[in-house]
Amino acid sequence: MPAIVVVGAQWGDEGKGKVADILAEHADVVVRYQGGANAGHTLVVGDEKTVLHLIPCGVLHPGTVCVIGNGVVVDPYALLEEIDALRKRGYLEDDSLLKISDRAHLTMPYHRAIDQARERLRGEGLIGTTGRGIGPTYEDKMARIGIRFADLLDAGAFADALRRTLEEKNAYLRNILKEQALDYDRIRDDYERLRERLAPHVIDASVYLDRALAAGRRVLFEGAQGTMLDVDHGTYPYVTSSNTLAGAACGGGGIAPNRITGVIGITKAYTTRVGSGPFPTELIDDLGRKLREDGEEYGATTGRPRRCGWFDAVVGRHAVRLNGLNGLAITKLDVLTGLKRLKVCVAYKHEGQRLEDFPASLSALNVLEPIYEELPGWEEPISRARSLEDLPANARRYIACLEELTGTPSIMISVGARREDTIILRNAFTM
């Protein structure tokens, strides 16, 4: 009953879509366990690009069951748009291949309105939210006023919950955020139609996964954002609104901790982040811009340019410890081709002291200096490499350095955007 978790080991956008897609070939079930439609996983199969926001990456593999877990907050409009687009291309023709937890919370129109209005009011102090209503949905979940799929299936319960909540939200929108109120009847009627389409997919996902694992089926759990965006252990407050770590797969999928048999961390060969917040190794020069252009570093959901910098081993060790990583999937190694010298951050310097671990203090993060080691680069193209032996010696040396600094072996190395542009060292399901 192997259950593998794949988790981002940086600030998200590490290439989880591609890695999860490759691992999904060996999985029977793929589960999304946190986040919402603010995430974008990009998959390239042949010459066809697919961007997923809510549906797990197993959707491109025939017969693989995709489960949206209770830890995900679901915008039903975004979900149906995604379903329709996939069905036009021949995917998800069988309703049984997509299952939604009846305990997953719904992102409502007022969540999006509040999210966008708040970000406008923050001005220069903005968090960098996508404006998709993710944070406000999680707020309502924790405040115990959220609306779940179980409520959506009960017309009376949904109408009552919407009426109570909308009164409060409209007062907040009008009086605090200076925005227009939303219409109760319109939202209720719209969600009535959404109910008809989504009801066939709604199940008790926890029970389903328990039975699947008991039957020996291989289950892959994927998160939406990276370790450094975790609401507790990331660069707070410049984080997402949920726990992104591997441990969140238990609560967000509805399985026990002892069901997890392995955890794979995905990391770029360099580092990127989208939006505001600390980024110790950021390159705000021509080299940073070169990495952005060569790596096509633009958000899959928003199109926002990503900030780029050198690989940060302090962040890497932080991710290894918090997630219990068994292996690394290193992505975008090919983007470094052509650079004569490469730098890797091995520690930080702050007020004369060497820091080996990632600090919580924003004030420290804003002034500390990265301590770098330099390695030689390589000129040879590597996109056709399919084994370590196919890589230039300096590329192999660079990989070995990342493994040593993080204390974690690599199991997969991506040398291009396509599914086949990958060196597979070990199968995560047989580790």
Instruction: Establish whether 230 is a catalytic residue.
Output: no
**Cα–Cα distance, 157 to 431 (Å, whole number):** 46
Q: Please, which residues have CB within 8 angstroms of residue 48's CB and are 6 or more apart in sequence?
A: none
Extract the tokens encoding 361.
Answer: 């203090």
Q: What is the largest CA-CA distance in the chain?
A: 66
Query: Which of the residues 21, 28, 41, 75 is marked catalytic?
Result: 41
Ramachandran quadrant class, 351 (left: phi over 0; alpha: psi -120 to 50; beta: rest): left
Listing DSSP states for 55-89 in one string gives: S-GGGGSTT-EEEE-TTBEE-HHHHHHHHHHHHHT
Query: Which of the residues 13, 115, 151, 230 is marked catalytic?
Result: 13
Q: Which parts of 237-393 are beta strand (E)?
A: 262-268, 271-273, 307-309, 311-312, 327-331, 341-350, 353-355, 369-376
**Cα–Cα distance, 236 to 233 (Å, whole number):** 8
Strand 29-32 relative to strand 219-226, pairing: parallel
Listing DSSP states for 27-42 in one string gives: -SEEEE-SB-TT--EE
Dihedrals phi, psi of 217, to nearest 5 degrees: -80, 150
Burial class (CB in 10 A: 0-12, 13-18, 19+), 77: middle
**Cα–Cα distance, 370 to 354 (Å, whole number):** 10
Instruction: Establish whether 201 is a catalytic residue.
Output: no
Give me the half-sphere count of Cα atoms (radius 13 Å) on the Cβ side of residue 243: 15
Please report which residue ranges of 103-253 form alpha helices under DSSP H: 109-122, 134-142, 149-152, 155-175, 184-198, 205-214, 248-253
C-beta of residue 73 within 8 angstroms of C-beta of residue 138: yes
C-beta of residue 12 within 8 angstroms of C-beta of residue 273: yes
How many helices (H) and strands (E) the chain has is answered by 13, 20
**Cα–Cα distance, 324 to 334 (Å, whole number):** 27
What 3 state SS string does 270-295 have? Answer: CEEECCCCCCCCECCCHHHHHHHHHC
Helix axes 184-198, 76-88, angle to 10 degrees: 40
Overall residue count recorded for the chain in this entry: 431
- List the catalytic residues: 13, 41
